[in-house]
Structure 1
């Protein structure tokens, strides 16, 4: 009987670096408890993505993984296959184990698109994406699907970025009605940090969206709120992408 029960106990987890704060472990722990599922969800805090192979080989009943900063792009060469959307995006945040193969998916796209859409109005035509990491790629893909023009902002000049922060003016900020923070600036405990941009250009026509969820209101969002902007944190996106991951693992 115990052996049969053990076979039902599946293991899921999160791969990242410095992830003790992670949303996913608490979310799935509560989900499994509330739904009476015998599964477990653990954090795999890796100094290097090269350690992933050891985790997979030494963890029994591992069924699926989420991937977070800084490995959403670095993990791709270690996978056997990418689903079509993940390939287009160029970043992976969900891995499914199927017949000994590792298949990469991106559910950040789904979470962002479905959490932003209810707030969109006709004048929301252009977006600034702050940051150029793996998360920003899913954001860009979602904006493209929504028919919203987007431009990247980076700390240093690079081919993929249209602006660096020092080039941003109030007029530029006014001309982009959606601004999305895809950087870790402002994450607990560094709650007094925020992207360096001219916040006086923000109006009540703006949406400020922060992928960060801890704290609930980052300094970035607070600066938008006092200008009358609509502000959205990353919590709904995280819940939506987590449920999408669960759906993929159970297909």
Structure 2
């Protein structure tokens, strides 16, 4: 039996288990299973790998995309550049980290966004790192937004009408708005959102987040994290089969 799974802290919202379980069924892959592994701390990873010798592939989610790196034998080039891992391949007892967020985000953004090329990236975690490298590679200028600001980042309080006139793309990489906290939303001056704005919310559950709804109310174009998730799940599968 080839085992795959997802590691993270709270995994009640997992898309991956549903996606891969359906894939195995639809494609008559009978010797594979996908499970959820909730880890209280990333220090539990070596114990998990020892206990589950049939594991050949893992996805990594919040909050371990960066913390997992010291536990891996090797990183692929994109993951090393980004400084975050969301996919691990295990073969011959060796672990190698990859970042399919980068591929999933780049591909879906290119299909969605045709604006002026200036983005605000909300959040500074592992997903944000992949997003920022992708934006760089796509030639889109960006500024990060975090609660603390600093390091060329803005705070949410600094985002006003003037800032929103300069940036037509808003990307949410925070978990704000994700089930079961779907009534939460990043602190933005929504009265200054216009039909010229594009809002890409990496949250995928619910399919229309409060952030997206507030954008739609102002005529903005919006995209949920679901297409990115499908894309990066396909990439993860390809990596595990190599």
Match of 2:11 among 19, 36, 53: 19
Partners in 1 of 2:221 and 2:116 — Cα distance?
12
Matches within 5 A, 1:1-251: 9-38=1-30, 39-121=32-114, 123-159=115-151, 161-251=152-242
Q: With structure 1 as the length reference, what TM-score do the two structures score?
A: 0.94
Partners in 1 of 2:208 and 2:116 — Cα distance?
22
Partners in 2 of 1:180 and 1:219 — Cα distance?
14
Partners in 1 of 2:45 and 2:220 — Cα distance?
41
Shift, 1:118, TM fit: 1.1
User: Is this contact kept in 2: 1:208–1:224, CA < 8 A?
Assistant: yes
User: Is this contact kept in 2: 1:170–1:199, CA < 8 A?
Assistant: no
Q: Secondary structure at the match of 2:208?
A: coil
User: Is this contact kept in 2: 1:20–1:43, CA < 8 A?
Assistant: no
Q: Secondary structure at the match of 1:196?
A: coil
Q: Over residues 127-150 of structure 1, what are the superposed CA-to-partner deviations in whole Å (9 max), with x where a residue is unaligned? A: 000000001001111111111001
Partners in 2 of 1:36 and 1:77 — Cα distance?
36
Q: Over residues 85-128 of structure 1, what are the superposed CA-to-partner deviations in whole Å (9 max), with x where a residue is unaligned? A: 1000110000001222110000000111111111222x331000
Runs of 4+ in 1 over 4 A off after TM superposition: none
- The runs of 5 or more residues in structure 1 that have no matched partner are 1-8
Partners in 1 of 2:116 and 2:184 — Cα distance?
26
User: Is this contact kept in 1: 2:112–2:223, CA < 8 A?
Assistant: no
Q: With structure 2 as the length reference, what TM-score do the two structures score?
A: 0.97
RMSD (Å), alpha carbons: 0.9
Shift, 1:60, TM fit: 2.9
Partners in 1 of 2:107 and 2:25 — Cα distance?
26
